[in-house]
Amino acid sequence: MGEKVNLVEKLGMFTEHWSPRVVGELNGQHVKLAKLLGEFDWHHHADEDELFLVLSGHLTLHLRDRIIELGEGEFFIVPRGVEHKPVAEEETHVLLLEPTSTLNTGNLRNERTIDAPPRI
Amino acid sequence: MGEKVNLVEKLGMFTEHWSPRVVGELNGQHVKLAKLLGEFDWHHHADEDELFLVLSGHLTLHLRDRIIELGEGEFFIVPRGVEHKPVAEEETHVLLLEPTSTLNTGNLRNERTIDAPPRI
């Protein structure tokens, strides 16, 4: 059985942006932490809903038809198939929840693609 | 498609203890908020892993072989089948993550059982 997870402690274990770390797994889902800064690519996940919870900072989630602004303590669930582009103008820390099969760049494969996010 | 969720705002919408509210759904999982105070019953969920993330307060998760103490910003995943008893000596607010099929009292059915937790 696992140990408890302290979010602040885990966030102190890495500095890279757009490089999620796995901190938990349940029911086929990964709980991940990520540090975001700047613009990510437009992408979608064909079969996976994705939750973004802002722990600190501010996340702008661009969708094709609207923009979602998330401050600390706010989350949004991007439904499967919906194109999105995360943008963080300041360093922003998020908790992600998504199936273990989820690729960070969704339908894209580029230099930002991380095939097996490390567990910390 | 859904709207963003502000955790503090949602927590302001109810006062009952041990009565989870559904605030999101993704990949067959419910995101729930609950206010805890006092002792809950020993129970287990046969087929469902359950995540407890403390948003404020302090949660003591009794397991049969150890005790997990969770402060703000800490989570623990109780694996399926593992008996647990949540105890909160002060009012404690938690975010729960578990399959939509999960019954709050697990294998028990008693006056605390909530068959269809309300969505807020």
* 3 state SS for A79-100: CCCCCEEEEEEEEEEEEEEEEC
Asked if A31 and B51 come within 8 Å (Cβ–Cβ), the reply is yes
**In DSSP terms, which residues pair with A32 in a beta bridge?**
A22, A96
Which pair of tokens denotes residue A117?
A: 């996010």
**Domain A7-99: CATH class, spelled out:** mainly beta
Q: What are the chain A neighbours of B4 within 8 Å (beta carbons)?
A: 68-70, 74-76
Q: Over its length of 120 residues, how does chain A's per-residue pLDDT go in tens digits?
A: 789 999 999 999 999 999 999 999 999 999 999 999 999 999 999 999 999 999 999 999 999 999 999 999 999 999 999 999 999 999 999 999 999 988 888 888 898 898 889 999
Asked if A31 and B25 come within 8 Å (Cβ–Cβ), the reply is no
Q: What is the ipTM of this complex?
A: 0.94
Nearest-by-CA chain A residue for B48: A27
How far apart are alpha carbons B37 and B57 in whole angstroms?
Answer: 10
